[in-house]
Amino acid sequence: MSKQQLPFPRNHLPFYHSNNSVLNAAPTTQSTSINRRNFMKLASITAAGPAIAARFPLHSPVAAQSLTSSERELLLLAIDAAKDAGAHYADARIIRSQFEAVSTREQTITQIQNTDSFGINLRALVGGSWGFAATQVLTRDSVAAMAREAVTVANANNAVAPAQTTLAPVDIFPDANWVTPHSVDPFLIAIEDKASLLLRINEEALRVNNVRYASSSILSVKEERMLATTEGSLINQTFLRINPAVNITAISNDGRDFQTRNAVIEPAGRGYEYVMGLELAGNAERWAEEAAMKLEAAPVEPGKWDLVLHPSNLWLTIHESIGHPTELDRALGFEANYAGTSFIHPPEDVIGKLKLGPEFMQFVGNRTEFGGCATTGWDDEGVPAESWPIIKDGIFVDYQTTRDQVGLISDYTGIERSHGCAYGQDWESMPFQRMPNVSMLPGEQGLSQEDVIASTDRGILIEGRGSYSIDQQRYNIQFGGQVFWEIRNGRKYQMLRDIAYVGRTPEFWNALDVIGGSSTYYLGASFGDAKGQPMQVNAVSHGCPISLFRNIDIINTA
């Protein structure tokens, strides 16, 4: 275990964006020791928007779980049918996924869409081979047939090329429950409230000169999952995730240029209280001003610059260059035909040996972080959520694992149990190893954002995720951003534009020189982590402090 716990993410505090002082560079006065209890106090203050607070008192237990006892019976029926058909292990899931999308542009509602998808699946192990089947027809006959089909497929696969599969030990949880910590279920907030918030955001943005177009949306997700295994676990969980998004376009007076400001807000594994704390309408004008300022920004001079990466940009760099190459299935070649392999391989040569950054650089994989999109109670094969070091003191020490993988590297890590990274996106999808939250710990010196900016005489501060691209072994990076500030003599000087930073992952992370303290810790996230064939998406978060990298190559993308 890491000696330091992950701090509370700053952008999950109510009023974060109004204090985010990028324009006025006010010194931060935010307490660095906000714990969860204090946060809930803050959350209730923000949420005291009178109408909503009256309708949805905070901390009320939400009736999030609608799966019934008859569905539990179907799950056990599937497990029994698989055992009878000859599976020596099986796990089955009933999954109900609900999505609600509210989308707007300018003063127009462009989409109101509610999606509800419900079905059951089963994964069976025969010999060393997996078989999988799924159905949306929830009758006893159909579910039993589905379970037998999974066993038939496993048999067939084992006949083509028999495999060795060992499942790591796991504790049994015969009656477990977990719900994403939240105070307001987004599905209980009226759609017209969401729509009117979005239209207000657009209206505020459109007040700014040159800003012609503004679109915004809120995507809410609720997943109810019940898992049963032949080993005796029965786990019932409800996940909430929410993704508010704003995209603003400014057009130059001569009609020859346009610039956008988007990726302003991070998705989160939380309830609607997160959105209420964001003050979206109050901040829209500032984001719009940034879009307009980009039209007038100075072109960057390509070459070597010090880079100060705000966590709203750095989280995606972590996702691409640390998160993906430390997926064990990639390192072992299982994703070669699509997502690719990994430069962090072979396991026996890199575990405990490969230096990926300076000694103060610490990364943890976790499925426990507050607000994390990959935060859970148990994974899709019943492994309890945990947090573990991936990079310790700058050295790579462990991968992301599932039960059938961990034995392949336990000789080098000394770890016999899965880190709990199995996930399948919906009832139709077979679970496999997916990325947990992978986060970088803040520095122990407790530096502020201003301290980090002051650490370079000639640098560029980058905020927000832009265009991002990385090769299939995760070496060659090219990442853009949303807003770029030239730093001169330790202070923000002027806005720049058309920037991407390029490099090779190991050299890039070894150029990390200064990191902020826990007051700068921020949680970025994506709903769109893609992997597998058939391709499945995973939602994942990455926390990190503001960070300074020395002498990084910058290109002009204009």
Partner 1 sequence: MAEAKGLPADELRAISDRVLQFSEADHCRVRINSGWRGYTRVATNRITSAGGSDSTSVNITSIFGKRVASVDTNRLDDSDLLNAVRRSEQMARLVPENPEYLPELGPQRYQSNAAYYPETGELEPATRAEAAAIAIDRANTAGQIVSSYMDVRAGISSIGTSNSLFGSHSSTAVAYTLTSRSPDGLQSGWAGDEANNWNNIESQRIADDAVRKCRDWRKTPLDPGEYTVILEPTAMGMLMLRMMNSFNRRTADEGRSYFSNPNGGNRIGEQLFDERVSFWSDPAFVDSETAPFNSVGQPLSRQSWVENGRLVNLACSRFWAQRLGVEALPGPSNFIMQGGDNSLEEMIASTKKGVLLTRFWYIRGLNPRIISYTGLSRDGTFLIEDGKIARPVTNFRFNQSLVSMLENVEMVGPAVRVAASENSSVNTAIVVPPVKAIGFNLSSVSDAI
Residue 301 DSSP SS3: coil
Strand blocks (E) in 385-521: 387-392, 395-396, 422-423, 432-433, 437-440, 458-470, 476-488, 491-497, 499-504, 512-515
Neighbours of 45 (CB within 10 A): 11
Interatomic CA distance for residues 208 and 349, integer angstroms: 56
Question: Nearest distance from residue 162's CB to partner 1, in Å?
Answer: 8
Interatomic CA distance for residues 278 and 194, integer angstroms: 13
Give the residue with the Cβ less far from partner 1, 409 or 500: 500
Could you tell me if 478 and 500 are in contact, meaning their C-beta atoms sit under 8 angstroms apart?
yes
Give the residue with the Cβ less far from partner 1, 112 or 206: 112
Nearest to 276 by CA among 370, 183, 376: 183
Question: Nearest distance from residue 150's CB to partner 1, in Å?
Answer: 8
Q: Is the dihedral of CA 439, 443, 446, 452 positive or negative?
A: negative
Question: Nearest distance from residue 143's CB to partner 1, in Å?
Answer: 13
Interatomic CA distance for residues 511 and 553, integer angstroms: 11
Question: Nearest distance from residue 132's CB to partner 1, in Å?
Answer: 4
Give the residue with the Cβ less far from partner 1, 32 or 478: 478
Output the CA–CA distances (angstroms, integers) from residue 61 to 175, 207, 372, 424, 505, in the order listed.
19, 41, 20, 27, 45
Give the residue with the Cβ less far from partner 1, 8 or 343: 343
Q: Is the dihedral of CA 296, 297, 298, 301 positive or negative?
A: negative
Query: How far, in whole angstroms, is CA 346 from its chain's centroid?
Result: 26
Question: Nearest distance from residue 49's CB to partner 1, in Å?
Answer: 19
Give the residue with the Cβ less far from partner 1, 422 or 514: 422
DSSP readout, 394-430? TEE---B--TTTGGGTHHHH---S----EE-SSTTS-
Give the residue with the Cβ less far from partner 1, 42 or 112: 112
Give the residue with the Cβ less far from partner 1, 199 or 422: 199
Give the residue with the Cβ less far from partner 1, 49 or 346: 346
Question: Nearest distance from residue 71's CB to partner 1, in Å?
Answer: 13
Question: Nearest distance from residue 517's CB to partner 1, in Å?
Answer: 33
Question: Nearest distance from residue 30's CB to partner 1, in Å?
Answer: 34
